[in-house]
Amino acid sequence: MKKFAIFFASILCAVSFMALPAIVGAQTDVFGLEYGAATGLGQQDPRETAANIIRAALGILGIVAVVIVLWGGIMWMTAGGSEDKVGKAKKILFSGIIGLIIILSAFALTQFVINQLIGATGAQV
C-alpha cells in the first residue's frame, strides 16, 4: 500500500509540473506584446511583422526582375541586327520573365497563406 501511495504521489507531482506552464501561459500574453510595451518598442503582432518583411522582400525582388526585363529589352533594341546580341538579349528577356512569374507566384502564395493563418488564429488585420 505504501508503494502505491508513493507511486500515486509521484505521478500527481509529474502531471502538475507538466500542466504548470499551460496554466501560467493562459494568464500571460502568448506573443510577448506586453514586453514590447514595457521596452518602448512597437506592439504589432509578430506574425504581421513577418508578413510585412516577406512582402517587402518579394516587392524588391519584383523590382529587380522588372529591371532585368527592361535591360534585356534595351539590349535587343541596341543590338543593331547582330544575331549574337539579339540572342543574348532574348535569353535575358526570357530569364527575366520567368523570374517575374516565379516572384509573382511566390507573392500570391505567401499572401494566401498569411491571410489564412491570420484568419485562422483570430488576429485582427
The pLDDT, as a whole number, for residue 29 is: 56
Apex 100 CA angle, 62 and 103, nearest 5: 65
What is the chain's alpha carbon radius of gyration, rounded to the nearest angstrom? 28
Split at pLDDT 50, 70, 90, the class of 57 is very high
Give the Cα separation of 79 and 77 in Å (integer).
Answer: 6
Question: What is the end-to-end Cα distance of the chain in Å, rounded?
Answer: 59
Looking at residue 120, its pLDDT comes to: 81
What pLDDT, in 10s, does the model give residues 71-80? 999 999 999 8
| pLDDT tens digits, one per residue of 92-121 | 999 999 999 999 999 899 889 888 887 887
Residue 19 reports pLDDT greater than 60: no
Statement: residue 15 has pLDDT above 80: no
Q: Does the pLDDT of residue 42 top 80, yes or no?
A: no
Residues 6+ apart with CB under 8 A from 88: 75
